[in-house]
Structure 1
Amino acid sequence: MIEVNELTKRYGGTTAVKDLSFTVRPGLVTGFLGPNGAGKSTTLRLILGLNEPSGGSVTVDGRPFRDRPRGLRHVGALLDAGDVHGGRTAAAHLAALARGNRIPRSRVDEVLAEVGLTGAARRRIGGFSLGMKQRLGIAGTLLGDPPVLLFDEPLNGLDPEGVKWVRGLFRRLAVEGRTVFVSSHLMTEMESTADELVVIGRGELIAAESLADFAARGTRSSVSVRTRQGAELTDLLTAEGADVRPVGGDGQGELLTVTGLSSERVAELAFRHRIMLGELTTGRSSLEEAFMELTADSIEYGARTAREPGANR
């Protein structure tokens, strides 16, 4: 278990993490999300004792991680897959980690096989692709068979087969009762993999809850409705306070997306005013849309929307 309690980190006049508190529980895959510059990498470094907090505390299974000798037996972490000695072979790199943590040399061959790098064990890391380096980094996290695992953008450079493999690996580790904490900007992967989410913005906590609860809190339900009386229905729903957006049409009528009213209310109003509906469905926005909505005020580096063709310059 990872417990973060009012954690703060300042660099001069800049506060990277501010009064951050959350718990990462065993037996679950917990996603760690936030816009660029939100403080995710700083938080991971504070968990691992690589940086000293300005305030607050963080413990791994009840103790600060830096107080634990032979750390790879307690926590496996992948922060930067490219931060390895390119002149070493994959086997030599892992063997050095094993020696420093008093881990049996046999584990090197076991984890290389688990990540699919047995055939590359004697190759120098400098010739590895990014995806191969990611697999090697994951092998390093597994080397000490630790109960807690941290991953920072573990899917970078992986092909579809590799992504599927990592997704299964995280699930297996969680089922084994381990604590799995994954920082990623890939919302679709978090939607497919995570049980819980920790979301931060500008170094402060936005949410720490189940993926389902986060999506429910951050999204707006919408109703898709098709009718041949689009203009009439639009005026009627707008008068009720709904936002109505046309999204196309065909021989069956105009398709509208309605937010701000339930499907039951839309159907009731249409029936009362004798407007025939050809389609009425309810949907919810994606995790990505929920994330964008809830972190909109926390984006430090945002691109401006491109100008329309012909717009004034």
Structure 2
Amino acid sequence: MIQVNGLTKRYGGTTAVKDLTFTVRPGQVTGFLGPNGSGKSTTLRVILGLHQPTSGTVTVAGRPFRDRPRGLRHVGSLLDAHDVHGGRSAAAQLSALARSNRIPRRRVDEVLREVGLAEVAERRIGGFSLGMKQRLGIASALLGDPPVLLFDEPLNGLDPEGVKWVRELFERLAAEGRTVFVSSHLMSEMEHTADQLIVIGRGELVAAESLAEFSARGTRQSVTVTTPAATALKELLTAEGAAVRLKGERLTVTGPTAVRIGDIARRHGLPLHELSTRSASLEEAFMELTADRVQYPGGDPR
């Protein structure tokens, strides 16, 4: 379990994280979301003891991580897949980590097989693709067989097969009772992977709840309607103040409920082949609920 209580982190006059409190529990995949500049990376680095908090506390299984010797046995992490010695082989990189954490050498071969790098174990990391480096970073995180795992953007550079593999890996690790904390900007993937969400903006907590609860907070619901009388129905709905997008025989309607649309169609004798309500996606809910917490609206942060 990861517990963050009243965490504040300042760099000079800049407050990266402000009075942040949340808990990441074992047995589930918890997604960590926030706009660029929201403080996600800072929070992860404080959890791992790489940065000291200005105030507040952060513990892993009840203790600050930096107080734990042979840390890879307690927490595995992937923060930056490029942060490796390019002149070393994959096997040499993992072997060095294993020795410094008193992890049996056999684990090197085991995790290389698990992440699909056994055949390139002796190749220099400098020649690896980004996807291969991501797999090596995941292997490093798994090396000590830890109960807590943190991943920052683990899907960068992975092909669809690799993304599917990572998704299944995270699900398996959580099913084993481990704490799995994943920071990612890929909303569509988090929608398929995460059970719980921690969402922050401008260093402050926006939400700490299940994925379903967070998505339900988005107000942008729409109704999909399929009808051979699409043009006529569009005119009627537009007159009612609805926003309507038309494509062939399908309408996407924002404003009136499905019941209201059905009543209008029935009153005018228009046949309906489909009438279904679509709730906001995770991405839509995220954009809506963090709109006022974006550090760099409109693009270029420079």
Q: Determine the C-alpha separation between the residues in 1 that align with 2:33 and 2:278.
A: 24
Q: Residue type matched to 2:245 in 1?
A: P
- Structure 1 or 2, whichever has the larger Rg, is 1
Residue 200 of structure 2 corresponds to 200
- CA offset at residue 111 of structure 1? 0.8
Among 224, 235, 238, the alignment partner of 1:234 is 238
Query: 3-state SS of the aligned residue for 1:62?
Result: coil
- Equivalent positions of 1:148-297 (< 5 A) are 148-225=148-225, 226=227, 227=229, 228-235=232-239, 237-238=240-241, 243-250=242-249, 255-271=250-266, 273-274=267-268, 276-278=270-272, 279-297=274-292
Q: Residue type matched to 2:3 in 1?
A: E
- CA offset at residue 281 of structure 1? 2.3
Q: Residue type matched to 1:292 in 2?
A: M
Q: Determine the C-alpha separation between the residues in 2 that align with 1:86 and 1:92.
A: 11
Q: Determine the C-alpha separation between the residues in 2 that align with 1:220 and 1:33.
A: 19
Q: C-alpha offsets along residues 197-251 of structure 1, whole Å, 9 cap, x if unaligned?
A: 111111111111111111011242212334424323321x22xxxx32232345x
Q: Residue type matched to 1:246 in 2?
A: R
- Equivalent positions of 1:119-138 (< 5 A) are 119-138=119-138
Q: Determine the C-alpha separation between the residues in 2 that align with 1:108 and 1:285.
A: 43
- CA offset at residue 290 of structure 1? 1.1
CA contact (8 A) 2:234 2:244 kept: no
Residue 309 of structure 1 corresponds to none
Query: 3-state SS of the aligned residue for 1:123?
Result: coil
Query: 3-state SS of the aligned residue for 2:23?
Result: strand
5+ residue gaps, structure 2, are none
CA contact (8 A) 1:219 1:290 kept: yes
5+ residue gaps, structure 1, are 305-313
Q: Determine the C-alpha separation between the residues in 1 that align with 2:114 and 2:56.
A: 38
Hey, which bits of structure 1, 4+ residues long, moved more than 6 A?
Answer: none
Q: Cα gap change, 1:232/1:269 in structure 2, threshold over 3 Å: closer, same or farther?
A: closer
- Which is further off, 169-178 or 86-95? 86-95
2:67 equivalent to 1:67: yes
- CA offset at residue 270 of structure 1? 4.2
Q: Using the aligned pairs only, state the percent identity.
A: 72
CA contact (8 A) 2:233 2:265 kept: no
Query: TM-score, structure 2 length as denominator?
Result: 0.93
Residue 22 of structure 1 corresponds to 22
Q: Determine the C-alpha separation between the residues in 1 that align with 2:233 and 2:213.
A: 37
Q: Determine the C-alpha separation between the residues in 2 that align with 1:99 and 1:53.
A: 30
- CA offset at residue 269 of structure 1? 4.2
CA contact (8 A) 2:200 2:207 kept: yes
Q: Determine the C-alpha separation between the residues in 1 that align with 2:269 and 2:40.
A: 51
Q: Residue type matched to 1:267 in 2?
A: G
- CA offset at residue 166 of structure 1? 0.8
Query: 3-state SS of the aligned residue for 1:8?
Result: strand
Q: Determine the C-alpha separation between the residues in 2 that align with 1:229 and 1:142.
A: 56
Residue 42 of structure 2 corresponds to 42
Q: Determine the C-alpha separation between the residues in 1 that align with 2:74 and 2:154.
A: 19
Q: C-alpha offsets along residues 12-44 of structure 1, whole Å, 9 cap, x if unaligned?
A: 111100111111010000111111111100000
Q: Cα gap change, 1:144/1:222 in structure 2, threshold over 3 Å: closer, same or farther?
A: same
CA contact (8 A) 1:218 1:293 kept: yes
Q: Determine the C-alpha separation between the residues in 1 that align with 2:51 and 2:234.
A: 59
Q: Determine the C-alpha separation between the residues in 1 that align with 2:234 and 2:220.
A: 22
Aligned residues: 294
Q: Determine the C-alpha separation between the residues in 2 that align with 1:267 and 1:121.
A: 62
Q: Cα gap change, 1:234/1:143 in structure 2, threshold over 3 Å: closer, same or farther?
A: same
Q: Determine the C-alpha separation between the residues in 1 that align with 2:221 and 2:88.
A: 53
Q: Determine the C-alpha separation between the residues in 1 that align with 2:162 and 2:45.
A: 26
Q: Cα gap change, 1:282/1:261 in structure 2, threshold over 3 Å: closer, same or farther?
A: same
- CA offset at residue 289 of structure 1? 1.1
Residue 307 of structure 1 corresponds to none
